[in-house]
Structure formats: structure tokens, C-alpha cells
Amino acid sequence: MAKSSTTFSEGMQPDKRRGKSKRTLILEAIQEESLLRMSPDSSKDDCEKAFFGHILARAVNPDDQNGAMLLKALLDKGWASVKSTMEPVKFNLDKSKPLSDQANEILFAISEGDIPPDVGVLMVNAITNALKIKEITELEDRIKALEENQDG
């Protein structure tokens, strides 16, 4: 990377550095407090269990003003966010037809109410991408054949 007047280097650092967020500072303080009771030979699992146990105890304490934030942090760390998924859609699609005709069948199924529009758009986009891949592959093959004919 080229060095410029805007490149951060050892001698060129911002005057005001952004500090840690309050959330990070609170969690670090809780971590230090929860690990004070641990022995030096405690396993990583034991330390994590003590840390999460301490957070849980504070999160459910109605007198702790950081309880809601701690509960959210605990839930974010403990479980992955649930991602919405689309229900499977079944309809007749003639796979022997060209991809462009299949895309038209999907559009027709959308118009008839057999497929939700958002699912149909995803399916048509998938067909479009497949057509692009096919087109690029065919162009590569044609270029390769032309180069071989020119060299031969």
C-alpha cells in the first residue's frame, strides 16, 4: 500500500483515540471480578463458567442497573441469532426446458399465486446466475478454441 499523508504509521497517529465502550468496560470489570475467585490452575471452561455465572447473577438482579445489558450480552454470546428461513415451495417445473423458459414458468407461478413473489424472485435470480455462469464458461471455451486454432 502506498504511503500518503492520510496513512496511519507509527509516527502519525490520531490525537484523540477512541476508547473502549462503556459496555466493554463493564464486561471487563465483571470478568476481572468473577475470575478473582478462580485458582491459577483452573481450566478455561471453569473460568468461562464462572464468568457467565457471574453475569447471569447480575443480569437477573433487579437492583443492578446494568442487568438488561448484561442479559442481552449473555444471550448474544450464548445463542446464535435465529435467522428466518423460507418455507419450501413445491410446484411443477419442466427441467427439460431451457433455463429461460423455466424462468418464465416461475413468473407464471408467481402470477397464479403458486409461489410467493419473494421466493420467485430468488429462484429467477438463481436461474439468471446459472445462465451467466454458462455464458462465461462457453465464452472461455470458445476463446480457448480460437487460441488453439491460431497457434496450430
What whole-number percentage of the chain has pLDDT above 70?
Answer: 91
- Residue 109 domain-assigned? yes
Q: Is 113 left (phi over 0), alpha (psi -120 to 50) or beta?
A: left
The residue range of the domain holding 114 is 99-151
Flag whether 86 is in a domain. Answer: no
Q: What is the pLDDT averaged over residues 121-145?
A: 95
38 shares a domain with 70: yes
**In the predicted model, is pLDDT for residue 71 greater than 90?**
no
Percent of the chain with pLDDT over 90: 35
Same domain, 108 and 146: yes
Among candidate residues 60, 63, 77, 62, the one with its CA nearest the CA of residue 23: 77
Distance CA 108, CA 6 (A): 55
Q: Is 49 within a domain?
A: yes
Mean pLDDT to the nearest integer, 75-79:
74
Residue 92 binned pLDDT confidence (cut-offs 50, 70, 90): confident
